[in-house]
Structure 1
Amino acid sequence: MTDTPGTVPVGIDPTMPSTARVYDAALGGKDNYAADRELLDRMIRDVPEVVEMARMNRAFLIRACRFLADNAGVRQFIDCGSGLPTAENVHQVVQRIDNDATVVYTDNDPTVLAHGRALLVDNDHTHIIDANVFHPAEVLEHPQVRATIDFTQPVALLHLADLHFYPGDPAALMAQYLDALPSGSYVVVSHGLNPENEHSHVARKFEAIYRASSGSVLFRTRAEIERILHPSMDVITPGWVIPGEWWPDGPNLKPWTPGEQCVWAAVARKP
């Protein structure tokens, strides 16, 4: 994306970093501005493996969606805080398995909404809505969600790398979503982790960078993250793990970097 004033969509401040655009830059996308790339460069200076962390998280999302569409037979997906369209979006993964699979992307970043709507204009089974994922009712009661998602049938709810931006109790937030999901639904979560060991400095660096730049992020402990899913949920094997350890496509031949060990993820089923 160029930084020419005339090319900036209405309602977007290119001088302020956006979480979605920074993530896009980390994944090699082009829908970002100088301020986003500057923040990413700062992250890379302090945490060199930040790009690998972003790619690992994205690869986990793809594998989880493939599992849900293929093995679990889920045909409805709500992607909360979806971010900018990039290679291998959720709808591309699941609609490769079933053309009629339905996907609703949810975000309130103007850049995400503008690019998402342009990408999905010809896809009748995929939609993007403007809603704050930290206000569950805003998502669940959105007219497009009510018209698109059949809440009598299993739904896959995706919360990838968004809940660590929520300053409140993520378990209470998730409970509102879970209450609305029917039996047989699935939840996919990834979250920044403070591993409470020699790698905790990575989490603290991330938190400091965001406080100084574009808001706040909170890397929670394993116990705090695992509370996000109610104890009644059936966590799918291998349980809570580093995203790269969740049913990888092949053996891992190198040790996980300190940064990669600062993300915690799981897929769970509602009985």
Structure 2
Amino acid sequence: MPPSTTGTTPTPTRLTRPAATPFREALPVPLVRAGARGRVALTALAAALVTAVLAWRYAGHTDAGRTDREVAALLDTQHGVPRVLAEAFAALGGPLPVAVALLVLAPLAWFLRGGRGLALVLVGPPTAMITTSLVLKPLVERTRGGELAFPSGHTTSVASLAVACGVLVLGLTTLPRALRLLAVAGLAGLVLAVGVGLVVRGYHYPTDTLGALGVAVAVVLGAALAVDAWSDVVADPGPDPRSFDPRERPTDVLPRAVREE
């Protein structure tokens, strides 16, 4: 530090951390809290298990199962406003709306949750969509109207984006908890509306949409845990080498380093 022309030692400038705002954390935080990662992993595993059981049950089938018929009977709407709404919600899982949603969500995730949020959006939903369309559909070979139906691609697209949004929103601790839960409830309602719309319009069986929801939850939550794990490894600088005394023997330094961690 150069000497002051007035003969006094200048006060060093202190770097301050950016203040938190109602929509952004002051410092990067994990996508999933450390204490909740076990529960999130179990949730992802349970979702994957549901999809696996349904895939095994309906592999190679071309007709509806008993559960499909009972649920579809409750949603039988052929005319009027409900039919129009069903078509509108079903269309939300199409390629164009999904592409627009990804383009909007990616920078928003970066703003709200930094690099971890952006990585989740770029990895989670696209991986879920690829898993459904290129892996599970050809593998299960369940068809409806001559088209591969399990899991539902439209439901996977919307659900995976909704789960990613839910992870981003739940981590915003600067927002009131009630507001975060309300946002998640709205996302869940949107996914339900899309699934119902696909069933009402006859594009999918109910179990197709349930299997797709399992794919979205399993893949996106798994991606969130993977992003956190990778980010934690990259961000960990390890022990500070300046804290070691070169005169100490390795057997003296190692226990102290373990205690500091």
Q: Structure 1 length normalisation: TM-score?
A: 0.25
The structure whose Rg is larger is: 2
Name the structure with the higher helix share.
2
Larger relative contact order (Cα-Cα within 8 Å, sequence gap ≥ 6): 2
